[in-house]
Structure 1
Amino acid sequence: MHAEIISVGTELLLGHTVDTNAAYLGKILSSLGIDVYYRATVGDNAERLAETLRAALSRADLVITIGGLGPTMDDLTKETIAHVLGERMVSDPDSERAIREFFERRGIEPVASNLKQALRPESGVALPNRVGTAPGVIVEKDDKIVIALPGPPGELIPMVVDSVVPYLDQKTSGKHRSVIESRVLKVVGIGESAAEDKVRDLLTSENPTIAPYAKGGEVHFRITAKAPNRQAALAMISDLEAKARERLGDYVFGIDEDTLESVVVRLLVERGLKLAFAESCTGGLVSNRVTDVPGASETFQGGVVAYANDVKSGMLGVPAEIIARHGAVSPEVAEAMANGAAERLGADIAVGITGIAGPAGGTPEKPVGLVYIALKTPESVSVTRNVFGGSRTEIKMRASHVALNMVRMYLLNIGR
């Protein structure tokens, strides 16, 4: 079975509302073995919605609409579905009763616009809304299925769980039933193009598939398999994942819900080492990321945000003459910050970060985006020079990624 999702609402097109519903439905449908080939977003316009519905019905077995079931004049989804399918609208008695009871419990008399929500295409089956007043509907016609769901996630999700999943589960059961499983392999320290080159021979695989995309300073590879059962799909994924890991090596830091900071904390705990940060341009961002990880207190000593030069000297012991000679943004100062954090916070590993996040303050010799990151370990101190592009926020985030990855790579190589 092939599906298409249509999200309805001008607020989605204008960017005033983020469409989390379509992502949720995509996961639900894939778990039922239903392929989603297209997703569309259309404003509150009956003509354009009808055009989108006709296109979807021409290429999909199942079309699910989200939104446009409310009581206002621009809520026209069910009416448009009826028009496209050549049906008249009728009032559903159970839905009308539920709407009246909803308002009566609140001591309010429903008006005509409220009762409009009880209307449905004549051949449709209403889906109860146990949270709000907008029932959904399922219409089967000409070997096609159209399901209309309310827009608020708090109403959509219970309706999907209560009514849509059992319905689709029954529709897709049998010898042709399959499941779709996915796993995300996460990579850091390498660009998207370079990472893709390393696995280029795997990208032509059709089942399972592997697809790269950049996300927040990382490269993610989504591996997806379709099989008769979950165990078979996961086995297919594991086989392709192993091949990708072999090519990508230590650039791979985790899968699915793993974050760079959670992996760093886990490695530190496993090796019994303590970590500290001395941050200037990142303003405590790296420390914040680490402390977001449950259990970080086992290994994280603390961090110093040393923005001003006198704080670098007073809190971290960075010699004033080094700052005067080399400037606050220099490898020498980054190294001194890392040494000071390790000594004063009692850490085995410490990171010093100093740079220019912009948008002002850069020079030809020291441009905006220049960040020096020093890693102090029990054996040595190393400093990297980085020039990041992007906004102030993006530069800070990219610097935090490099800092955490430097710690990760050191921990991985202990004992090798």
Structure 2
Amino acid sequence: MKAEIIAVGTELLLGQILNTNAQYLAQSCADLGVSVYFQTVVGDNMSRLTEALQTAKGRADLIICTGGLGPTQDDLTKDALAAFLGRQIIMHQPSMDAIEAMFSTRGIHMVESNRRQALMLDNSDPLTNDAGLAVGIALTQDQTHYVLLPGPPKEMKPMFERYAAPWISSKMNHVHPLFSRMLKFAGIGESSLEHELLDLIKAQTDPSIAPYAKEGEVAIRLTTRAGSEAEAAVKLDPMEREIRSRLGQYVYAAEDVTLEQEIVHILSSRKQLLAAAESCTGGLFSNMLTSVPGSSAVYRGGIICYSNILKHRLLNVPMDVLEGPGAPGAISAEAAKILAEQMLAQAGSDYAVAITGVAGPDSSEGKPVGLVYVGIASTQGETVVEQLQLTGNRDSIKWRAAKSALYKLWKLL
């Protein structure tokens, strides 16, 4: 079954909100065995919405619309589909009863426009809205399936999971669902990873191999269709073993988690603590870690020692290391080592990371933009310091420095 997702809303076109619905629906359709071939965003305009439906009908078996089911005059999705299919709009009385009961319970006057949320097309199946008011719709006409869902994700997701997904499955001819496995890599670039796996990628049939990359991390998604998880494993396991035999030293997870999530998981399982001293990254490393739920159990905290005076006063880096003739400088292996060791001592943690460098756009201490030192001190052994020469603009260098520090910490752990 081929599908198209149509996200309705002028606010999406203007960039006022992010189209997370399409991402969720595409992933959910793949899990059902439905292939999403196209995604469309259209504003709250009757003619353009009708045109989008006409285009989708010519290239998809299933059309899923999100948005435009609310009470206001610019909520046009039901009206557009009714006009497009030549159907009547009728009242779904159970939804109307639920709407009236909600207003009555809250003691709020219900304006007439709220009745629009209980409207549906004749001879269609209602999709109950357990988290809101607007009823969803599912119907089939001329061998094309249509599903209309509300725009707010908190309403759309439960409606899809509980009602739309089973309805879609009932229209499919026993298509096997997709099973995917994600391998996450750090410390290797996308081009280098692809080079190592190029023969597998070129020869792929089943399972398929798809590389993905974002700043500081690379992923490989292995995907196959199968009748069961066990059947899928028979095809996925040999490919994963082959990839690990070539690049296992860079694989930090076999699921879609970030490097910082994996580090928090490892530290938590070992009941160990971490702290950080950051200069050029300005707290970005700490922000990445503390974005992970549960990080408070393992992350003691950090010091953003951006200036030399704070490196000296707060973390006891000698001024003759930081400044003066012949001094290594704040951007040096010596400074990174002292920062990490002093942070370890002051925090009473098991590990401490220090990051110091030149983010740009100008050089500093006569040292080039992108020169970064990462120091890691631990109670388990000697302090290690690594020198990096990163490229990119100021934001990219800060991001890559923080991600590199995470990778080096993960390797040590």
Cα offset, 1:292, TM superposition: 5.5
The residue number in structure 1 matching 2:363 is 362
How far off is 1:289 after superposition? 3.9
Report if the CA contact (8 A) 2:333-2:385 is conserved. Answer: no
- The question of 1:244 aligning with 2:243 is answered yes
Structure 2 unpaired stretches of 5+: none
Answer yes or no: is the 8 Å Cα contact 2:64–2:147 preserved in 1: yes
Give the superposition deviation at 1:273: 7.2
Query: 1:326-359, CA deviations, whole angstroms, 9 ceiling, x for partnerless residues?
Result: 3322333223323433455556654321123345
Is contact 1:274–1:301 with CA below 8 Å preserved after alignment? Answer: yes
The letter of the residue matching 2:386 is V
C-alpha deviation, 1:242, in angstroms: 1.9
Aligned equivalents of 2:157 and 2:289: distance in 1? 32
Mapping 1:135-284, distance limit 5 Å:
135-172=135-172, 176-204=174-202, 205-265=204-264, 275-284=274-283
SS of residue matched to 2:163: helix
Indicate the residue corresponding to 1:414 in structure 2: none
Equivalence for 1:316: 315
Alignment partner of 1:60: what SS? coil
Q: Distance in 2 between matches of 1:128 and 1:118?
A: 10
The structure-2 alpha-carbon separation of the partners of 1:151 and 1:391, relative to structure 1 and needing over 3 Å to count, comes to farther
1:189-219 alpha-carbon deviations (Å, 9 max, x no partner): 1221221121122224233212112123211
Q: Following TM superposition, by how much is the alpha carbon of 1:96 offset from its aligned partner in structure 2, in angstroms?
A: 3.6
1:145 is paired with a residue whose SS is strand
In terms of mean alpha carbon deviation, does 329-338 or 38-47 score higher? 329-338
SS in 1 for 2:53: helix
- Tell me the alpha carbon deviations over residues 256-275 of structure 1, each in whole angstroms, 9 at most, x when there is no partner: 24332343355567789765
Structure 1's 160 and 306: CA in aligned 2 closer, same or farther, altered over 3 A? same
**What is the one-letter code of the residue matched to 2:177?**
V
Identity of matched residues, %: 43
- List alignment gaps of at least 5 residues for structure 1: 412-416
Q: Alpha carbons of 1:81 and 1:348: their partners in 2 closer, same or farther (altered >3 Å)?
A: closer
Whole-angstrom distance in 2 between the partners of 1:269 and 1:122 = 55
Q: Which secondary structure state, in structure 2, belongs to the residue aligned with residue 40 of structure 1? A: strand
User: Partner of 1:250: helix, strand, or coil?
Assistant: helix
How many Å separate the matches in 1 of 2:107 and 2:313? Answer: 66
For 1:350 and 1:90, locate their aligned partners in 2 and report how far apart those are by CA, in whole Å: 65
**Is residue 334–residue 383 contact of structure 1 (8 Å, CA) maintained in 2?**
no
For residues 53-95 of structure 1, what are the alpha-carbon distances to aligned partners after superposition, in whole Å with 9 as ceiling and x for unaligned? Answer: 1222222211110001112222111111122223233333444
- The answer to whether the Cα contact below 8 Å between 1:210 and 1:222 also exists between their aligned partners in 2 is yes
Aligned residue in 2 for 1:406: 408
> In structure 2, do the counterparts of structure 1 residues 84 and 351 end up closer, same or farther at CA, with 3 Å as the change threshold?
same
**Distance change >3 Å, CA 387–CA 113, structure 1 → 2:** same
Aligned match of 2:353: 351
Q: Name the TM-score, length of structure 2 as normaliser.
A: 0.87
Aligned CA distance change for structure 1 residues 126 and 195 (closer, same or farther; 3 Å): same
1:118, 1:99 → 2: CA distance? 8
Is contact 1:123-1:140 (8 Å) kept?
Answer: no
Deviations 1:164-191 (A, max 9, x none): 133223333x6x2312122221111122
What is the rounded CA distance, in whole Å, between the counterparts of 2:170 and 2:10 in structure 1?
34
Q: Which moved more, 1:314-323 or 1:64-73?
A: 314-323
Deviation at 1:111, TM superposition (A): 3.8
What secondary structure does 1:385 align onto?
A: strand
Q: For each residue in 1:290-332, what CA deviation from the matched residue of structure 2 results, as whole angstroms up to 9, or x when unmatched? A: 4565776786665433222122223333221121123322333
* d(CA) in 2 for partners of 1:155, 1:270: 36
Shift of 1:153: 1.6
Q: CA deviation at 1:7?
A: 0.7
Q: RMSD value over aligned CA atoms?
A: 2.9
Distance 1:98 1:87 in 2: 24
Q: Which residue of 1 aligns with 2:388?
A: 385
CA pair 296-24 structure 1, distance change in 2 beyond 3 A: closer
Displacement after TM superposition at 1:401 (Å): 1.0
- In the other structure, the counterpart of 1:64 is 64
SS in 2 for 1:409: helix
Deviation at 1:142, TM superposition (A): 1.1
Question: Which moves more between the two structures, 131-140 or 288-297?
Answer: 288-297
- Structure 1 residues 377-386 or 14-23, which shifts more? 377-386
Q: Which residue of 1 aligns with 2:342?
A: 340
